[in-house]
Amino acid sequence: MSSSIVPAIGVGTFRLQGQTVIDSVRQALEVGYRAIDTAQIYGNEAEIGQAIAAARLPRRELFVTTKIWTEQLAGDRLIPSLKDSLRKLRLEQVDLTLIHWPSPGGAVPLAESLQALAEARAQGLTRHLGVSNFTIALLQQAIAIAGAEAIATNQVEISPYLQNRRLVEFARAQGIPLTSYMTLAYGKVLADPVLRRIAARHGATPAQVALAWALGQGHAVIPSSTRRENLQSNLAARALRLDAADLAAIDTLERNERQADPAGLAPAWD
């Protein structure tokens, strides 16, 4: 089981551009993050590369993830696109490369993309490979092609409002760790009365409660923030231990409310 490959908490960079992402990553590294999550489509790999270079941290201390965009999933495009990402990131190798979304309409066979990713790993361009936004059916296909042990993570939306229990159960049974994105449901959880009550009891914040809940399930989390105090606070969620009553209360928040469901990209969700 590859649960230890992806660090438990990293800093997300979705929607952060230009100087904003440079400052966010710089501050994240200063307060103690060592994992950074980006993607080709975010359009911020070069700025992240600049922030990483400026931090002058030993490369072995960092865990950098990027994701291959759907237009680059073909066998002859994936590796050149990853090399382009590496050039922008100023790295010789990323730690993890994910298929960002399944190929729309199955235009590029999954086997072709996974084969190219395996080749990228063989060439030393990435240490590990994985997937993102994969349903149970897509994970089953990926396992049949590459083997469960080859899939470092499936990065999917998981929050108190979208607990994705069937997928969680399936991935757990296969030994495939999940990375939760949008764990804070675009900030909606911050005003949630249930989470606020739990937070008050622990002297914590609602964001810490949501993150601790996901971490407690064994998921990695990648919250983003542009404010140093929030970056620090999110990182501190690792120390928060929720009890059975807290978990039972959070269970009741499930409402299958998805924040990321882009038309033309999203698969048939579980």
Q: Which residues are catalytic?
A: 42
Antiparallel, parallel or unpaired: β 220-221 and 35-37 = unpaired
Cross-sheet strand order for the sheet of 178-181: 11-12, 35-37, 63-68, 94-99, 126-132, 151-157, 178-181, 220-221
Alpha-carbon distance of 207 to 268, in angstroms, equals: 29
Distance in angstroms (rounded) separating the CA atoms of residues 53 and 92: 12
| Tokens describing residue 159 | 């929050």
Q: Which helix (H) or strand (E) holds 130?
A: strand 126-132
Asked if residue 233 lies in contact with residue 190, where contact means CB atoms within 8 angstroms, the answer is no
* Residue 96 β-bridge partners: 65, 128
CA 134 distance to own-chain centroid: 12
Contact 85/45 with Cβ under 8 angstroms? yes
Tokens 């993890």 -> residue:
96
- Of the candidates 191, 185, 186, the one whose C-alpha atom is nearest the C-alpha of residue 205 is 191
Q: Write down the residue that tokens 């103690």 correspond to.
A: 32
